[in-house]
Amino acid sequence: MGKLGVGIAAGCAVASCAIAAVLVGKRVRSRRKWSGVVRVVREMEEGCETSVGRLRQVVDAMAVEMHAGLASEGGSKLKMLLTFVDALPDGSEKGTYYALDLGGTNFRVLRVKLGGKGHGIVEKTVDRQPIPQNLMTGRSEELFDFIASSLKKFVESEGEDSEFTAGKRRELGFTFSFPVKQTSVSSGILIKWTKGFSIRDMVGKDVSECLRIALARIGLNMRVAALINDSVGTLAVGHHHDADTVAAIIIGTGTNACYVERTDAIIKSQGLLTSSVGMVVNMEWGNFWSSHLPRTSYDIELDAESPNPNDQGFEKMISGMYLGEIVRRVVLKMLEEADLLESDSTKLSVPFILRTPLMAAMHEDESPNLREVSRIFEDVLEIPDVPLKFRRLVVKVCDTVTRRAARLAAAGIVGILKKIGRDGSGGISEGKVRGDESKMRRTVITIEGGLYTSYGAFREHLHEAVAEILGEDVAPYVILKVSEDGSGIGAALVAASHSQENSVNI
């Protein structure tokens, strides 16, 4: 071979080595990037760990905080608010009752006809109306005059065959989903507005009294028999269908819980005039906190950037408002590690753009190539061509966040059971029906909210965790049931159980 041939061969060899070096370098960098993505996911899984041992620590912490909250005002992160609801419907209620559900930009009026034992809810009529924007920021008199007028029109639609034609007084359950300090079963002082309302002259006033005055102005003979929130209404619906129901949980956009407590265990209410042995306590458990909760850097950042830092810590880990946002933060970190973002400006950088229903859709995508995950990335987040292996890790993150949320909610439920002696922690004999030493007492928890009712994976993780924490001897005696429309039907049922005709104490 001539010198020219040798030179060409040598040049080709050098070029080949250079190309090979570039390719090897790219592969090495690609492996490093991918290992970075995997590391993010692995660290998230470790940070969200919810072993049964850890969950039982959360159970104990919940029970301790409940005791503290019942002992004194401000004694716990759990407010443990008295509802003064000392009678729950048991299915024997008869007659027609009304409900007013005010909790956002719409309100509902309901008429519920109860048929007594064996008949339950015979008939239900519902009317939904938007609240004009100007009434949400105007004067309290204007808002309640509008509501009272709507109530009157609803009542007038009953016709001549109404049981109230002889002048019999109608009774109303009022679900008012804003912060209220309850002063009796039918009255409470508004602490502050939320959800876009800002009626200054209303703060500090009795909500029911404002409605009563408005009803009197238009001549509608209706008594506010109960002022409640949606968790109490959910408990009422559950107890109406099943007398073994002892607690209600809301797991939707937000989360809360209430349960039936022994009156003598509510130390901060000593001196309260009541002949009942039990009362419903509104826990406001979204504010629960314990060092045993598995908190990650993503949770810390979300809390710090929220409008209410260091508040509602439990809610920020388990409710539908926040799960999608936690996943968004993790996925954004994964994309940065993978170098899949074309610029710093991406829709995924927008807080709360990945709503929990979208997260659930990705989590429950069972197609072989995860088409729904790909669609959401492309159509919603405007990030096309995300590799399949990356999409699989996104599904894993969705499961990690959902599993942690559901298992923590389960621990909260068992915490309530522990507080009232229904978790079997004192041995299999604890919680037995008197006079029957061979049988555990059946205990029903009623649950409402879209995160639980509509998200199958969440529900499965929650049920699994409750069974794991309680153990095989106790778990069969604890039944979780879906409830519907606690804020509507529930309010009417509480009105019925506290009416002058049906009231029977717990």
Q: List the single range of 123-132, 237-246, 256-265, 341-350 with lowest mean pLDDT.
A: 341-350
Question: At a CB cut-off of 8 Å and minimum separation 6, what does 343 contact?
Answer: none
pLDDT at 168 (0 to 100): 76
Is residue 12 scored above 60 in pLDDT?
A: no
Backbone angles phi, psi at 164, to 5 degrees: -100, 10
DSSP secondary structure string for all residues of 56-94 = HHHHHHHHHHHHHHHHSTTSSSS--EE--------S--E
Q: What letter represents residue 435's amino acid?
A: G
Is residue 8 scored above 60 in pLDDT?
A: no
Q: List the single range of 42-51, 150-159, 396-405 with lowest mean pLDDT.
A: 150-159
- 257-281: average pLDDT: 86
The class that CATH gives domain 50-80+241-424+441-484 is alpha beta
Q: For the purposes of burial, counting CB atoms within 10 Å of the CB of 311, is it exposed (0-12), middle (13-18) or buried (19 or more)?
A: middle
Tens of pLDDT along 446-498? 999 999 999 999 999 999 999 999 999 999 999 999 998 999 999 999 999 99
pLDDT at 270 (0 to 100): 76
Do residues 376 and 362 make contact, with C-beta atoms less than 8 angstroms apart?
A: yes
Of the residues 76, 140, 177, 374, which is catalytic?
177
Is residue 345 scored above 70 in pLDDT?
A: no
Of the residues 56, 86, 101, 108, which is catalytic?
108
pLDDT at 505 (0 to 100): 67
pLDDT at 452 (0 to 100): 97
pLDDT at 16 (0 to 100): 43
Strand-pairing partners, residue 281, are 82, 259
pLDDT at 434 (0 to 100): 44
The confidence band for 161, taking pLDDT boundaries of 50, 70 and 90, is low
pLDDT at 17 (0 to 100): 40
Mean pLDDT value across the chain: 88
Rounded-to-integer distance, Cα 107 and Cα 125, Å: 14
Is residue 25 scored above 70 in pLDDT?
A: no
pLDDT at 108 (0 to 100): 95
pLDDT at 338 (0 to 100): 84
Is residue 119 scored above 90 in pLDDT?
A: no
Tens of pLDDT along 103-114? 888 899 999 999
Backbone angles phi, psi at 246, to 5 degrees: -120, -15
Do residues 196 and 136 make contact, with C-beta atoms less than 8 angstroms apart?
A: yes
Q: What letter represents residue 412's amino acid?
A: G
Half-sphere exposure of residue 303: CA atoms within 13 angstroms, side-chain side: 17
pLDDT at 28 (0 to 100): 44
If you search the block for the tokens 């088409």, which residue do you land on? 371
| DSSP state at residue 425 | T
Q: Give per-residue burial for 478-493: e unless 16+ CB within 10 Å, then b.
A: bebbebebbbbbbbbb
- 301-312: average pLDDT: 93
The confidence band for 339, taking pLDDT boundaries of 50, 70 and 90, is confident
Task: Tell me whether residue 230 is one of the annotated catalytic residues.
Answer: yes
Tens of pLDDT along 424-446? 876 443 444 444 444 679 999 99
Give the highest mean pLDDT range of 9-23, 157-171, 466-480, 490-504. 466-480
Of the residues 86, 101, 206, 230, which is catalytic?
230
pLDDT at 503 (0 to 100): 56
**Residue among 137, 155, 179, 184 at smallest CA distance from 97:** 155
Task: Tell me whether residue 108 is one of the annotated catalytic residues.
Answer: yes
If you search the block for the tokens 């022994």, which residue do you land on? 262
Strand-pairing partners, residue 173, are 99, 226
Q: Residue 113 corresponds to which tokens in the numbers above?
A: 């006809």
pLDDT at 425 (0 to 100): 79
Rounded-to-integer distance, Cα 175 and Cα 211, Å: 12
If you search the block for the tokens 């004192």, which residue do you land on? 426
Domain boundaries, the chain: 50-80+241-424+441-484, 84-228
Rounded-to-integer distance, Cα 386 and Cα 315, Å: 31
**Cα dist from 88 to 187, 278, 413, 502, whole Å:** 17, 10, 20, 10
Strand-pairing partners, residue 443, are 478
Task: Tell me whether residue 365 is one of the annotated catalytic residues.
Answer: no
pLDDT at 432 (0 to 100): 46
Strand-pairing partners, residue 259, are 247, 281
Tens of pLDDT along 27-67? 445 677 899 999 999 999 999 999 999 999 999 999 999 99
Tell the CATH topology of 84-228.
Nucleotidyltransferase; domain 5 (3.30.420)
SS3 label, residue 115: strand
